[in-house]
Structure 1
Amino acid sequence: MMMKVTENVTPFTTFTRDEWAALRESYPMEVSAEEIDKLKGVNDVLNMEEIADIYLPLTRLIHLHAIASQELYRSRSIFLQNQEKKVPYIIGIAGSVAVGKSTLARVLHTLLSRWDRHPRVDLVTTDGFLYPNEELEKRGIMNKKGFPESYNVQALLEFLAALKSGKPQVEAPVYSHLTYDVLPEETQLVEQPDIVIIEGINVLQPPRRQVEEEEQEVAVSDYFDFSIYVDADEEDIFKWYVERFKKLRETAFRNPHSYFRKYADLNDEEAYDFAKDIWDRINHKNLTENIRPTKNRADLILRKGGHHLVNQIKMRKI
Structure 2
Amino acid sequence: MSKKRLLLLMKPFNHMGDLSRVTNPKVLSHMESRHKVHMDAVNFCQDILQRKSIEWEFLPHKSLSQPIRDVEMVITIGGDGTLLHASHFMDDSIPILGVNSDPTQVEEVEKFKDEYDARRSTGYLCAATVKNFEQVLDEILDGCKSPSALTRILISVNGQPLPHLALNDILVAHPCPASVSQFSFRIAMDDKSCSALVNCRSSGLRVCTAAGSTAAMSSAGGFPMSILSQDLQFMVREPIPHGASDSSLVHGLVKFDQSMQAIWYSKEGRIYIDGSQIFHSLQHGDAIRVSPRAPVLKIFLPQHFCLDTSRM
Do Structure 1 and Structure 2 share a fold, with TM-score over 0.5? no
Per the normalisation by structure 1, the TM-score is: 0.25
Per the normalisation by structure 2, the TM-score is: 0.26
Larger radius of gyration: 2
Structure with greater helix percent: 1
* Greater relative contact order structure (CA < 8 Å, 6+ sep): 1
